[in-house]
Amino acid sequence: MYKYLQRGKCHERLNMACQDAVCGKEKNGVIVVAAADASSDSDYGKKGAEIAVESLLHLLLTYFEEIYKMKKEDIQYNAIVQVRKKQYEFCKREGIQLEDVKSTFMAFAYDKKTKRTILLHLGDGYIVVKRKEEFRIISYPKNGGNIYRTYMTSTIPVGDKIHVYCGKLEGIQEIFLITDGWREFIQTDEELPNILQMVKEYLWKGEDDLGLICANLDDEKCN
pTM of the model: 0.87
**pLDDT on residue 115:** 93
220 pLDDT above the threshold of 50: no
Residue 113: what residue type?
Answer: K
Low-confidence winner among 37-46, 155-164, 196-205 (lowest mean pLDDT): 196-205
**pLDDT on residue 222:** 42
How confident is the model over 126-131, as a mean pLDDT?
88
pLDDT tens figures, 19-69: 889 999 999 999 999 999 887 677 788 899 999 999 999 999 999 999 999
Close Cβ partners of 215 (under 8 Å, ≥ 6 residues apart): 1, 2, 24, 31, 33, 108, 110, 174, 175, 222
Burial bucket for residue 183 (CB in 10 Å: 0-12, 13-18, 19+): middle
Average pLDDT over the chain reads: 83
209 pLDDT above the threshold of 60: yes
Fold of the 2-216 domain: Phosphatase 2c; domain 1 (3.60.40)
Close Cβ partners of 164 (under 8 Å, ≥ 6 residues apart): 72, 75, 76, 79, 118, 119, 120
DSSP string, the chain: -EEEEE--HHHHHTT----EEEEEEEETTEEEEEEEEB--SSTHHHHHHHHHHHHHHHHHHHSHHHHHTS-HHHHHHHHHHHHHHHHHHHHHHHT--GGGT-B-EEEEEEETTT-EEEEEEESS-EEEEEETTEEEEEE---BSSSTT-B--TT-SS-GGGSEEEEEE-TT--EEEEE-GGGGGG-SSGGGHHHHHHHHHTT----SS-EEEEEEETTSS---
Domain chopping of the chain, boundaries: 2-216
Close Cβ partners of 148 (under 8 Å, ≥ 6 residues apart): none
How many CB atoms are closer than 10 A to CB 222? 18
